[in-house]
Structure 1
């Protein structure tokens, strides 16, 4: 919704409706803004049958600021005044965001635009698709012929070569994994980056990266604003961990879950093919366990799912070792999925490295997959020295970073990149993009860097994992 719509509350015809236009009520009904709450008690009672059986029944229309019209569904309290309310009815509606897409006004001449694209952080499926769609969209839809690719991440602005990007150059890059521009962690020198942008005459900056990269994009915008430069900055969030808040999910996540599911299926086949075999699969998830949880739900072959949000313990009643012993007696095999950030507090012998960080400022984690595999071997060997068993270990995370995205994800990426071009073309800046409640929206960059999204252990997802795997309650302690 363009900014002109937000001030159009006085218009007689709403700019859009929050329901299917094919089933919409007439303009006359909408203009009257009828609502069940405004009807007399006697009329409410007489409308009770018509509301169900008649095609001409009164519709519950709610009008709001900005010209929107919501056709609500009937509620018992509309015609039963004494209906008890357990939860507060008039709760806040929450935060709203602008919808991405074409705008009513474009504030640049195509000949004046000099855009650049940079990719930072780790690899993620779909990065090349986003690069291709930005370049082709700028060229074919807006007539922009000057698009520059910055090589090697943030430091590429001042220490690396650049690549002129044209539709011919990016024609088939969506068929390759990784990024044609190269990437790196760290190297963020705000002053040097903005100096390079200013010296080259760049006025549109597209920054593709995770939460750390988006923090850098916010700092770059602040420096650009301080200098008063006519430069629009757009961040495009990417992380397969899905740990960026507010948005429904980040691109690359679906593909990573699909690849993780293949690894789980392979571990399950191997585990049930050998006597007392335990398959351990370590998945991505430094601070959040979304990949582990969703891959577990998708495969239905996992006996135990361990995520960073839920602490667990190994020994004693209700511990992991007791659960493993029980499951081996019942099934003769089992599969354990563990996120890379889970159980880090249990690696006491490696605590000296817990405060170390990589170039992006992320905490360096120990290999919890190998550690827990060895712990399981030691436990079973000590408990039953002559017991025949095997523990296999898989770590498909690096593969998930570099593979091609699946077809559905590729389609969504194309549509998202198109809307990104439309929005930044109207000179909105310090923005980032993502689906919010299923609708592609653009948000202030600070919305996505304020915190990290984590799995809620009381949500339906963890409950479903625990239900279908029958794993112990210690897996999802609050």
Structure 2
């Protein structure tokens, strides 16, 4: 890990001392204390270095149920919001939160907030809905979010006042970087007012680009769903002379989906991600590399992340979405146009097929292993909220679930290390370097 862990404060904020005995029962139930920690590094040399330089090893708070809770069972009222783009597993997390609150803690007042923070800011236009275990029983079988979602910055003071008006003391925010930063602002305003409302996040980012939370739900499903698309592109390409298949996958700033999809379906010949610099023109550019590939085999497959190659659009200006995220220029159609003109100028025939499965991938239900992750993240989020934890998100780190402060998780985007083992595996699998460097044999 390249990050200097000494500059992070891994201590989780709390609303106060837990004084209420937990309503959880069971002979095999194991409670977790706040003193239990998971080390933030696993490399033995790094462990020794931090111990020597700091006198301690950076660690995170272990997630799980506490023997005493902060929120009294009879007074507990929860609200759930889903924000940002769709992602496989959103409904599964909603189901997990509701079922844990209902069935484990006996809390019946659970409100679903429609259309993310927009609904929290304007509950009259978007009335909340009561949720219970029966209503969410088969929710995991559906894609999208039963609550709807939205982007954009809403007034924090208004949202906090609406939480007060609804007598909510636990807010669960399911979303990515922007959602969590919004949750941190809500938690800050709650703290300023001296209110006892927990704000706990469940990390939703299909790009897997949050720090210190491990793999996020929906990511594995996205990789799995990309396989038939890449396979279709490969079948189309190899069935004709000089067939070229271009598949654009999600990944605005991080290329994890694209890289893992290339490894999962090793018919990809070129994997293009935002983290890796590559040129289009010149003797070592992508155009020439595909030409070399055609000389060796008369077909090629390119998997490109949506945020890759943005340097090709310098001078075109910048646009942002309602949440302030920079909108990426369409690298997929750009590559299609350039390849067509390049091979036309060379009078080399090419049959190009373009695939953009982004929306079909993110709108499906979560796969089996993702379903498991969704429920467990939801369950640990409820344990944290009941214990009065706030301004935090649930993560999975070093094979353990942990409570991570939101400012730590959103410090900067989690990206592929192009000098690391994952990217080296991709390069070995695709063999793309030999084409870029002119070694086609």
TM-score interval, normalised by the smaller of the two chains = 0.7 to 0.9
Structure 1 residue ranges without an equivalent (≥5): 4-65, 76-86
- The structural deviation recorded for 1:311 is 1.5
Question: Which residue of structure 2 lines up, in the alignment, with residue 91 of structure 1?
Answer: 49
SS of residue in 1 equivalent to 2:185: helix
- What RMSD over aligned residues (CA atoms) do the two structures have, in Å? 2.2
**Paired residues for 1:243-254 under 5 Å:** 243-254=209-220
> In the TM superposition, what is the alpha-carbon distance from 1:310 to its structure 2 partner?
1.1
Could you tell me the TM-score, scaled by structure 1's length? 0.79
1:407–1:67 CA distance, 2 compared to 1 (3 A): closer
Alpha carbons of structure 1 residues 357 and 298: separation in structure 2 relative to 1, 3 Å:
same
Return the offset for 1:352: 3.0
Corresponding position of 2:129: 163
Equivalent pairs counted in the alignment come to 393
| Matching residue within 393, 414, 435 for 2:396 | 435
The Cα shift of 1:388 comes to 2.6
Q: Give the aligned partner of residue 186 of structure 1.
A: 152
Tell me what 1:293 maps to.
259
When residues 298 and 330 of structure 1 are mapped into structure 2, their CA distance, relative to the original with a 3 A threshold, is same
Q: Over residues 394-442 of structure 1, what are the superposed CA-to-partner deviations in whole Å (9 max), with x where a residue is unaligned?
A: 0111111100111111012112211221221111111101111221111
Q: Which residue of 2 aligns with 1:24?
A: none
C-alpha distance in 2 between matches for 1:140 and 1:469: 48
1:431–1:442 contact (8 Å) kept in structure 2: yes
Alignment match, 1:260:
226
Segments of structure 2 that go 5 or more residues without pairing to the other structure are 1-10, 13-34, 52-56
CA, structure 1 residues 332+356, in 2 after alignment: closer, same or farther (shift >3 Å)? same
Q: Which residue does the alignment assign to 2:278?
A: 312
Moved segments of 4+, more than 4 Å = 66-70, 473-476
Name the stretch that deviates more: 420-429 or 118-127: 420-429
Distance 1:344 1:89 in 2: 38
Structure 1 residues 54-93: aligned runs within 5 Å? 90-92=48-50
- TM-score, normalization by structure 2: 0.85
User: What per-residue deviation string (whole Å, max 9, x for no partner) do you get for residues 193-246 of structure 1?
Assistant: 001011111100001111000000000000000000011110111011011111
In 2, the alpha carbon distance for the partners of 1:225 and 1:185 equals 24
Aligned to 2:361: 400
Secondary structure in 2 matching 1:155 = helix
Per-residue CA distance 1:334-375 (angstroms, 9 max, x = gap): 000111111111124xx334x210001111111110110110
Q: Is the 8 A contact 2:38 2:61 kept in 1?
A: no
2:116 alignment partner in structure 1: 153
Partner of 1:357: 320
Partners in 2 of 1:262 and 1:88 — Cα distance?
Answer: 40
Contact 2:37–2:62 (8 Å) recurs in 1: no
Show CA shifts across 1:36-70 (max 9, x none).
xxxxxxxxxxxxxxxxxxxxxxxxxxxxxx69999
Q: Distance between the aligned counterparts of 1:318 and 1:345, measured in 2?
A: 16
Is 1:135–2:98 an aligned residue pair?
yes
